[in-house]
């Protein structure tokens, strides 16, 4: 007595073209993923040996390297700008303590008042100082 069995198998395939003869090649999803990630070789139906020259891992590594390089450049630019601003702040602080306007390099008894009156763009966005006393 013989028994008849039916087996049904469902599998997803990816269709790619041979780079040499343009014949469509059917690869299982697993095999396709392996070829894309690792650059492994496979044959087309005409016998051509085919592989992906830039694997998915290589492409992602290039993207990561580019992003890291860009981030490093931006961090260096930000560090340079912070240093530049700190130096400028030191210079302005030193000048104003000595009664010198950092914008027009003239000496004044009340530098803060001079800057507020003659160089309003320098104090734009800053709060007005509290008046401690009125001068008559």
Burial class for 78, CB neighbours closer than 10 Å (0-12, 13-18, 19+): exposed
pTM of structure: 0.46
Number of domains in the chain: 2
Give the whole-number percent of the chain exceeding pLDDT 90. 29
Residue 132's pLDDT band, with cuts at 50, 70 and 90, is low
Q: Is residue 9 over pLDDT 80? A: yes
**91 within domain boundaries:** yes
> Does residue 125 carry a pLDDT above 70?
no
Say yes or no: 28 and 68 in one domain. Answer: no
The verdict on residue 46 lying in a domain is yes
| Whether residue 90 is found in the same domain as residue 117 | yes
Domain that holds residue 101: 57-123
**Domain co-membership, 100 together with 72:** yes
Say whether both 103 and 79 belong to one domain: yes
Taking a C-beta distance cutoff of 8 angstroms, is the pair 101, 119 a contact? Answer: yes
């Amino acid at each position: 007595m013989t028994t008849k069995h039916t087996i049904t198998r469902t599998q997803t395939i990816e269709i790619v073209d041979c780079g040499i003869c343009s014949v469509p090649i059917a690869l299982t999803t697993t095999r396709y993923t392996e070829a894309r990630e690792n650059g492994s070789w496979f044959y087309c139906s005409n016998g051509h040996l085919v592989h992906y020259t830039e694997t998915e891992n290589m492409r992602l590594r290039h993207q990561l390297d580019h992003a890291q390089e860009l981030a490093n450049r931006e961090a260096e630019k930000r560090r340079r700008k912070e240093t530049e601003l700190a130096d400028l702040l030191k210079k302005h602080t030193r000048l104003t303590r000595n009664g010198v306007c950092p914008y027009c390099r003239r000496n004044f008894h009340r530098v803060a008042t001079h800057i507020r009156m003659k160089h309003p763009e320098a104090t734009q966005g800053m709060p007005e100082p509290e008046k401690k006393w009125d001068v008559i």
